[in-house]
Amino acid sequence: MIEETVTFKTSRGLKLSGALLAPDESLRDMVVFAHGTGSSKSSPRNRGIAQRLLDAGIGSFLFDFTGHGESDGLPEQSTQDQQYDDLNSALDYLGAQPFVATRFVGIHGSSTGGTVAIRAAAEDPRIQVMVLRVPREYEIVQFAQMVQAPTLIIQGSEDSIVLPEAKEIYEALQCTKELRIVQGAGHLFDEDPKFTQEMEEAACEWFVRWFAACAAQD
């Protein structure tokens, strides 16, 4: 496995910190992770999914939003607009690296990172597959209707605050979609190891399935 610690700048000049993970240096599919508020590229849930993706031959790019982790800025600067710029800058950075030969790009957004991921997928054709874990609905339905990438939503049945929002987003999506409810799980899927395992496996399987479909159509 290759893991590179990298820094890159947003269009607004802020320096962000990232971690690029790949099984090797050959041509591959990549997943960009957009974490939730207060989290970072070190999120154990995102890292768990990234490890499963590595085992499947898929690379991952995890980074810290503005004001999070090791990135520049203050938490209050990390608005939805700023995070949208951060995510686009991460996609630009990934696509410009000569040491990563990327074939197809997917995105994994969790909680408020899912909100930003929806907006990015609605407007950026580079995003061809998407997984949303407990996505928040912050005036994002209009963008959800524009998403074309096959999208999986993973939601815990006991996450009473976010579950209605996830269902609203699911209903708004017009693309190929699936809603996976993990019975008994809360917002973080950490009440029982089997919840974490089910969440990680569902995310990985979705990316593997749809990256293979992209390759078949290429």
Q: CA torsion angle for 165, 170, 172, 176 (degrees, to 10)?
A: 160
pLDDT digits over 152-171, tens only? 999 999 999 999 999 999 99
Placement of tokens 């005036």 in the chain: 139
Structure tokens at 215: 């390759």
Residue 96 burial (10 A CB sphere; 0-12, 13-18, 19+): exposed
Q: CA torsion angle for 184, 186, 192, 197 (degrees, to 10)?
A: 90
Structure confidence at residue 27 as a pLDDT band (50, 70, 90): low
β-bridge partners, 5? 19
Do residues 53 and 32 lie in contact, with contact meaning Cβ atoms separated by under 8 Å?
Answer: no
CATH number at residue 74: 3.40.50.1820
- Computed over every residue of the chain, the mean pLDDT equals 94
Q: What whole-number distance in Å separates Cα of residue 125 and Cα of residue 109?
A: 16
Residue 215's pLDDT is what? 87
Cβ neighbours of 17 (radius 10 Å): 18
Q: CA torsion angle for 6, 121, 11, 20 (degrees, to 10)?
A: 0
Bridge-based pairing of strands 59-63 and 2-9 is unpaired
Over residues 9-30, the mean pLDDT reads: 87
How many structural domains is the chain composed of?
1
Q: Is the pTM of this model over 0.85?
A: yes
pLDDT digits over 40-81, tens only? 999 999 999 999 999 999 999 999 999 999 999 988 999 999
Structure tokens at 160: 């009473």
Structure tokens at 189: 């899927």
Do residues 59 and 22 lie in contact, with contact meaning Cβ atoms separated by under 8 Å?
Answer: yes
Structure confidence at residue 99 as a pLDDT band (50, 70, 90): low
Q: Which domain holds residue 139?
A: 2-217
